[in-house]
Amino acid sequence: MKLYSAPIEQLINQFAKLPGIGRKSAARLAFHVLSLPEGGAEQLANAILDARKLVTFCGCCQNLTDKELCDICAAETRDKSTVCVVAEPRDVAAFEKTREYRGVYHVLHGVLSPINRIGPDDLRVRELLARLESGVVKEVIMATNPDTEGDATALYIARLLKPLGVKVTRLAYGIPMGGHLEYADELTLLHALTGRREI
């Protein structure tokens, strides 16, 4: 005998497919959705359908947007000569939260990962090269995560860009603010040491 009736089982299965949601959490979400007041479940379903229907890629930076050009690329106040290359749209949000960076972005939508069969053609590398042709871009900041795949992607793209005469930089890696030296791992400490600056 099934534990739940078919439509509930189906909803739990769908929730359980989401990242970080197991069977138990999925059941909890399903029952929550069923207990929502009139229209609540429809709002969630419509938000999913709308987002899927309306959201496309920005023609310039490849970030997710519902316009032809995203707000950042369309803003006159942003410095178009500096491009920060990130792996995912949420990395753009992370930089925007600093409220300090005034350049623009380029979203790769992934990192090179031979083990998952993701090569340069699966990333938005071609679009990045096309952006550099106009000569407006002076500096490209590689801001992929400091892990094996992120480093490999940064290195690969840096090698592609160098011959074009554009300055390619990488984010600084070191002790995070508020972090303690005694708890920092060796690699972080090594990066902090080699990246030391005169004060």
Residues forming contacts to a second copy in the complex (CB under 8 A) are 1-8, 10-11, 13-15, 17-21, 25, 27-34, 41-55, 64-67, 70-72, 75, 88-90, 92-93, 96-97
CB of 42 to a second copy, least distance (A): 7
DSSP state of 80: E
Rounded Cα distance, 136 and 57, in Å? 21
CB of 32 to a second copy, least distance (A): 5
Closest CA to 140 of 168, 159, 163: 168
Give the type of residue at 127.
E
Closest CA to 92 of 169, 101, 48: 101
Q: In terms of CB distance, is 71 or 147 closer to a second copy? A: 71
CB of 186 to a second copy, least distance (A): 28
The secondary structure of 52-88 as a DSSP string is: HHH-EE-TTT--EESSSS-HHHH-TTSEEEEEEEESS
Q: In terms of CB distance, is 63 or 132 closer to a second copy? A: 63
CB of 22 to a second copy, least distance (A): 11
Q: In this structure, what token pair is assigned to residue 104? A: 């623009």
Q: In terms of CB distance, is 32 or 167 closer to a second copy? A: 32
Q: In terms of CB distance, is 45 or 129 closer to a second copy? A: 45
